[in-house]
Amino acid sequence: MGNVFLRVWAYFKLCLPCVSEDTTDSPVVIVNRGAHHAPDPPQSLKQKPIILYFVALFDYEARTAEDLSFHAGDKLQVLNTSQKGWWWARHLEKEDSSGQRLEGYIPSNYVAEDSSLQAEPWFFGAVSRADAENQLLYPKNQTGAFLIRESETHKGDFSLSVLDGKVVKHYRIGRLDGGNFFITPRKTFSTLNEFVSYYSTISDGLCVRLGKPCLKIQVPTTFDLSYNTVDHWEIDRSSVQLLKRLGTGQFGEVWEGLWNNTVSVAVKTLKPGSMDPKKFLGEAEIMKTLRHPKLIQLYAVCSSEEPIYIITELLRHGSLREYLQIDAGSKIHLAQQVDMATQVASGMAYLELNNYIHRDLAARNVLVGEHNIYKIADFGLARILKVDNEDMYKMKDQEKLPIKWTAPEALQNNTFSIKSDVWSFGILLYEIITYGKVPYSGKTHNEVVLMLRQNYRLPQPPNCPQKFYNIMMECWHENPKERPTFERLHLTFEDYFQADLYSEGNNFIR
Ligand code: ATP
């Protein structure tokens, strides 16, 4: 994966007094809320009932009789935005048999206001550098494929990512005081559209001339099954068909299912007695509000009788643990391992920001989707499962139990915190770098607890770079307060290779 980040911004800041000064050195919040979250209605729509036109960014297939199907590029008129995440819209190009324009609910994160920046095929919103690389490296994109994204580290700035052969290169787009955009100050543009038009005709210092916009391969997750499960997400279990068993965990089975004959979902069926339904519903209430592209979305539950069903987003490639083990290092290399760590840290930074604790972070609870997407599952569930530490020691499948992932203070006093999650993240890094090896292999849980009391830490695995191991060791600091935040961990992994370039003195590389 090409990780050459072009630090032209730093260079021009040095050379040009007229460039607006950005002194943001402190860590910034990197949580990826922007493009993936159900946007609030545009201000103009909230205020007065004027007609607003939207353009579809992705294909959408109706899930209920009240939904409206559309294709990417279709024009829609939004008529009502009162339902969060789902708007009532009129299709401007499709009519029913009586000549009436078709109307129905649409997911609001599938459309953008016509002629807005968000509607441009090359604008990808708040996409991270690693995700931009994954999307550009999709085989159907060719040299010159590009996207413009909002910078995560410099709020309000934009970055250009371009595919050059097999390498993705990134340019920070500078702004003059007057707001003009530039890569080099000898050529500035009043809009990003002008910027794109210019570099589509001539490379003028870029690695290549801009070609086609990057294909939008990642269809966003809707946050609900449909408009009518937004508030009523206790659903009838007869609306869910269980199609194929995907796996079995300590507390039940996971099935691939189909809701309403239209939406593919994952269904976790909990063994009777493993959870108090009331407690579960209380927690699910919070889990439902957590929305982030690196977290598995909770869609709905069937909790009125046992077994409880937890209905979530489906990720096709199953758990990260198995994914790492199957490949065992023949195809997965350091860049992808760092990407896994970056994506998980991004999701955890969101939980951190929302004061939420996972309690069972491990490779078995990270799921793998299409196009190298990794998402965190089962957050919060551990708190309400009817298991205490005593039981954990006694349980049969020692390999899967979280003792070896749990921070010493959580084992000793049951004090779970986001910092005990950071400890678990360190163990997850061990799993990533060893291709799914069980930590403290061959040791019983009691032995591990004793070893940790004596300040023992997992040794550096043979193929693990020192830099990667140093991060693991920071996560295992005895004092929870000294462990890094997930925000910091995200930035560290996001810049993992970039930092190497700096240390070699390369501030801007082409
Ligand atoms: P434990 O119960 O100890 O947490 P586990 O995480 O392996 O173990 P489950 O969460 O029940 O157990 O998951 C069992 C398997 O089902 C996973 O390993 C994974 O392969 C599959 N699975 C779980 N959730 C999903 C999902 N949302 N999409 C696709 N596959 C899933």
35-51 pLDDT, tens per residue? Answer: 333 344 455 445 445 56
User: Which residue out of 248, 254, 294 has the highest number of ligand 1 atoms within 8 Å of its CB and is therefore the one to mutate?
Assistant: 254
Arithmetic mean of pLDDT over the chain: 83
Per DSSP bridges, beta strands 263-270 and 298-302 are: unpaired
CATH number, domain containing residue 55: 2.30.30.40
User: Which residue out of 248, 311, 367 has the highest number of ligand 1 atoms within 8 Å of its CB and is therefore the one to mutate?
Assistant: 367
Residues 241 and 329 occupy one common structural domain: no
Residues 134 and 109 occupy one common structural domain: no
394: annotated binding-site residue?
Answer: no
Distance 379 CA to ligand 1 centre (A): 12
Ligand 1 site residues, Cβ closer than 6 angstroms = 246-251, 254, 266, 268, 296, 312, 314-315, 318-319, 364-365, 367, 377-378, 400
Residues 357 and 427 occupy one common structural domain: yes
Structural domain containing residue 276: 4-20+231-312
Please give the residue that has the higher pLDDT: either 10 or 28: 10
Cis peptide, bond prior to residue 307, ω within 30 of zero: yes
CATH number, domain containing residue 194: 3.30.505.10
Distance 315 CA to ligand 1 centre (A): 10
Residues 149 and 272 occupy one common structural domain: no
Which residues carry out catalysis? 360
Closest CA to 489 of 363, 338, 296: 338
Residues 241 and 267 occupy one common structural domain: yes
pLDDT on residue 386? 55
DSSP string computed for 131-164: HHHHHHTSTT--TT-EEEEE-SSSTT-EEEEEEE
Residues 454 and 370 occupy one common structural domain: yes
Convert the pLDDT of each residue in 271-306 to its tens digit.
887 777 777 777 788 888 899 999 999 999 998 888
Q: Does any domain span residue 61?
A: yes
Residues 272 and 395 occupy one common structural domain: no
Residues 345 and 450 occupy one common structural domain: yes
Query: Is a pLDDT exceeding 80 seen at residue 510?
Result: no
Burial class (CB in 10 A: 0-12, 13-18, 19+), 339: buried
Helices (H), 66-141: 129-136
Strand intervals (E) in 96-228: 101-107, 111-113, 146-150, 158-164, 167-175, 181-184, 187-189
Distance 320 CA to ligand 1 centre (A): 10
Q: Which amino acid is at 500?
A: D
**Do residues 54 and 108 lie in contact, with contact meaning Cβ atoms separated by under 8 Å?**
no
Atom 11 in ligand 1: residue holding the nearest Cα = 249
Residues contacting 353, CB < 8 A, separation 6+: 29, 31, 487
Burial class (CB in 10 A: 0-12, 13-18, 19+), 200: middle
Distance 366 CA to ligand 1 centre (A): 9
Q: Which amino acid is at 68?
A: L
Distance of alpha carbon 239 from the chain centroid: 28
Query: Is a pLDDT exceeding 70 seen at residue 392?
Result: no
What one-character DSSP code corresponds to residue 127? -
Atom 9 in ligand 1: residue holding the nearest Cα = 249
